[in-house]
Amino acid sequence: MAIIVCGGSNLTSSPSRLIRAQHMIPCSSTVRRSALVITPARCISNLRRSFSSTFSVPLMRYKTGSRILPSASGLASGILRPLPISSVMLYRQLVPSAVGISGAARTVAVDMNRNIDNVVRCGAPSGRALPKLWNLRNLRPHMSRKYCTSLSMLAVVFSLHATGFPADPPKSERRVVIVVWDGMRPDFVSEQNTPALWKLARGGVIFRNHHAVYPSATMVNGTALVTGIYPGKNGIIANHVYRPEIDPHHAVDVELPPTVKKGDEVSRGKYISVPTIAELVQRARGRTVIAAAKSVGLLLDRQPDVGTAKNCVTLFAGNAGLRARSGAPDSIPAEIVPSITATLGPFPSGHLQQDAWTTKALTDCFWKDGVPALSVLWLGEPDLTQHESAPGSPASIAAIKSSDENLAAVLSALDQRDARGRTDVFVVSDHGFSTIERSVDLRKILNDAGFIAKTEFNDQPKPGEIMLAGNGGSVLFYVTGHDETVTRRLVEFLQQSDFAGVIFTKEPMEGTFALGQATIQNPHGPDVEMAFRWNDSKNKFGVPGMIDADWQRKAGEGTHVTLSRFDMHNILIAAGPDFRHGEVDDLPTGNTDLAPTILRVLGITAPQKMDGRILSEAVVNGEPATAGLKPETKTIEATKDFPAGRWRQSLRISRVGSTIYLDEGNGTFTPK
């Protein structure tokens, strides 16, 4: 640690001579700790000019006493408690080595060294701010009156830890870009299909054992991705749910603006019960941009500018893309859309064109004045095309290549802005994909079996009537009045069917798993949830993963939301200054892990513990994979015997620490 102290007259004349007095460590070195500066208000402008000319990374805007120091090329800053006669600044992360002590300042420096514990406690972990253990008022009694007058005092405290790598920007300079390829399976990543992603992966970390959360649906995983919290706790448990307080007659699409608005009204702003990373970045004064070619964008940040950051934007395809026909997406704030359409033209109707338009909105419009702290680009492909055809179809491969081209455009835009060196890029998919082997009309099947099953209530529902909320590869069953007899009969019927895969129940029942075992227990949850059965046979394009699914799509098309390994495993690649280079991570990881990892990269503390974990084994200077990160995998089973046969279902669960990942689950009824 080195300390500089000098009188105000020295600062007023030429502080840079003092700051630049000595070069003991190469300027490219990375400084891991901090600097403390105490100076009178009248010296602020001189200090700023000197530090601006010395340092090469931007200085954040901050208060010193009653003065505001404008942004300049200097250091990231925080605020310490000001002395009555002084202003106090804490410079984190990057401090030049040009430090010297000369003349009369040396005497004061010796005094300060003797009493340094009154100012700063050493030993803060690398990359973190020094703990708030200083008492600046105790500093003056230990310093010579000659050098500590009521007029001025400057103390610069540097704690240095140099490495041989190029200098890292401070946390305030770090940028994160998330690019979501909706529905992308890991087995389609190749140098031929995805050259840009392939190259990015070779320079970063490939997470080879990555997981979606269940249900493996877009809205569920989008919310888990930006909250780091399991579905049952964050509130978004399926794409389509029955919430009678929002709509007593129909299942609702959870991401549509009217649903979100009503949900926030009835929950006092807790429709999503925890803040998203966009909200947390905004509260930390960082700018955020959400650009989504699908309606999921509203769930990622439905209330920009919750903090002190301004010019935050959420752009999304409104009403599940229905407004695309009118040539305009939705946005928060709404007034930004006309300027974007004036630049890019109307929002197109084709899936691939929508992705390209949204990408250009991000890079050409929202990044025009610089890359924000957090950017999220949500591409609708290859999901939309795979739904219409199937995984592996020529159209689906073309959609994958289109997503890769959009990724290449994002990376090129970062290069053009000279931002790659301080930007961590995450490419992730929300879920995998499967091909429908059989479409199951559950409403007809249940009604034929004597149940009263509906997909809408035309009048007040009667006790025992069942609302079906189809989600493709899973169905949610809401029994009016939570009638136990009807619920039990329903479960036993499903267990003896030829299409049920895994059954979860709100109340304990033989041969089922609890909703909580899939992290979907919620006060608004269904009485029963069923994932359809699946197998690993191949479709006509030679792609494995066949499933039964609900009545909304026909056999031969694509969908997801089962507990198939092909639905539950998705992609994650991370590359940038905070991630290891050219590595493969085989530990279980999941979409809930992105939020805590991103907050760690940005130096932001989450307000509560997240369910996901920081991917420390992949982070530079993080924990190695062998240090306490030992995965555990187990398979749980549930059975029930019937006169005609036996029902058995299983669920394989991996765990790293306290974070769990659902690998796959299936079930079958075996006749006697």
Half-sphere exposure of 408 (CA within 13 A, CB side): 12
Alpha-carbon gap, residue 614 to 599, rounded angstroms: 9
The pLDDT, as a whole number, for residue 140 is 35
Beta partners for residue 456, in sequence order: 250
The pLDDT, as a whole number, for residue 663 is 99
- What mean pLDDT is predicted for residues 262-274? 95
**Residue 630: pLDDT band with limits 50, 70, 90:** confident
Least confident of 9-13, 170-174, 379-383: 9-13
Torsional class of 372: left (φ above 0), alpha (ψ -120 to 50), beta (otherwise) = beta
Which CATH number is associated with domain 175-236+272-432+574-611?
Answer: 3.40.720.10
Closest by CA to 201, choosing from 579, 582, 578, 616, is 582
Instruction: Evaluate if residue 594 carries a pLDDT over 80.
Output: yes
Q: Is 662 strand, coil or helix? A: strand
Max CA pair span of the chain:
98
The pLDDT, as a whole number, for residue 18 is 32
Alpha-carbon gap, residue 390 to 393, rounded angstroms: 6
Beta partners for residue 420, in sequence order: none
The pLDDT, as a whole number, for residue 173 is 84
Q: What is the pLDDT of residues 466-522, one digit of tens each?
A: 999 999 999 999 999 999 999 999 999 999 999 999 999 999 999 999 999 999 999
Which is higher by pLDDT, 182 or 1? 182
- What mean pLDDT is predicted for residues 12-39? 33
Instruction: Evaluate if residue 549 carries a pLDDT over 50.
Output: yes
Token look-up 């290891």 returns: 580
Alpha-carbon gap, residue 390 to 323, rounded angstroms: 26
Alpha-carbon gap, residue 227 to 237, rounded angstroms: 13
Q: Which sign, positive or negative, has the C-alpha torsion 618, 589, 293, 189? A: positive
Closest by CA to 592, choosing from 176, 212, 182, 206, is 212
Listed in sequence order, the residues at least 6 apart from 190 whose beta carbon sits closer than 8 Å to its beta carbon are 198
Token look-up 């699946």 returns: 534
The pLDDT, as a whole number, for residue 117 is 36
pTM of the complete model: 0.75
The pLDDT, as a whole number, for residue 327 is 46
DSSP result, 509-540: -TT-EEGGGGT---TT--SEEEEEPEEEEE-T
Instruction: Evaluate if residue 591 carries a pLDDT over 50.
Output: yes
The pLDDT, as a whole number, for residue 481 is 96
- What mean pLDDT is predicted for residues 527-539? 99
Is there a contact between 354 and 293 (Cβ–Cβ < 8 Å)? Answer: yes
Is there a contact between 580 and 616 (Cβ–Cβ < 8 Å)? Answer: no
The pLDDT, as a whole number, for residue 161 is 30
Alpha-carbon gap, residue 260 to 266, rounded angstroms: 10
**Residue 303: pLDDT band with limits 50, 70, 90:** confident
The pLDDT, as a whole number, for residue 208 is 98
Q: What is the pLDDT of residues 186-213, one digit of tens each?
A: 999 999 999 999 999 999 999 999 999 9
Alpha-carbon gap, residue 570 to 185, rounded angstroms: 5
Token look-up 């492909």 returns: 381
The pLDDT, as a whole number, for residue 59 is 35
- Domain residue ranges of the chain, discontinuous segments joined by +: 2-158, 175-236+272-432+574-611, 437-557+632-671
Burial 575-613 (b: 16+ CB within 10 A, else e): bbbbbbeeeebebbbbbbbbbbbbbbbbbbebeeebbbb
Q: What is the pLDDT of residues 312-328, one digit of tens each?
A: 889 988 543 444 444 45
Alpha-carbon gap, residue 224 to 230, rounded angstroms: 6
Alpha-carbon gap, residue 181 to 393, rounded angstroms: 17
Q: What is the CA radius of gyration of the chain?
A: 29
Least confident of 127-131, 297-301, 532-536, 553-557: 127-131
**Residue 305: pLDDT band with limits 50, 70, 90:** low
Phi, psi for 295 (deg, rounded to 5): -70, -10
The pLDDT, as a whole number, for residue 621 is 78
The pLDDT, as a whole number, for residue 628 is 66
Alpha-carbon gap, residue 357 to 351, rounded angstroms: 10
Alpha-carbon gap, residue 465 to 477, rounded angstroms: 10
Instruction: Evaluate if residue 20 carries a pLDDT over 90.
Output: no
- What mean pLDDT is predicted for residues 224-249? 98
Instruction: Evaluate if residue 112 carries a pLDDT over 50.
Output: no
Instruction: Evaluate if residue 465 carries a pLDDT over 50.
Output: yes
Which is higher by pLDDT, 532 or 173? 532
Percentage of the chain surpassing pLDDT 90? 66
Closest by CA to 619, choosing from 642, 593, 638, is 593
Q: What is the pLDDT of residues 53-93, one digit of tens each?
A: 433 333 333 333 333 333 333 333 333 333 333 333 333 32
Mean pLDDT of the residues in the chain: 79
The pLDDT, as a whole number, for residue 143 is 34
The residue type found at 74 is G
Which is higher by pLDDT, 10 or 465? 465
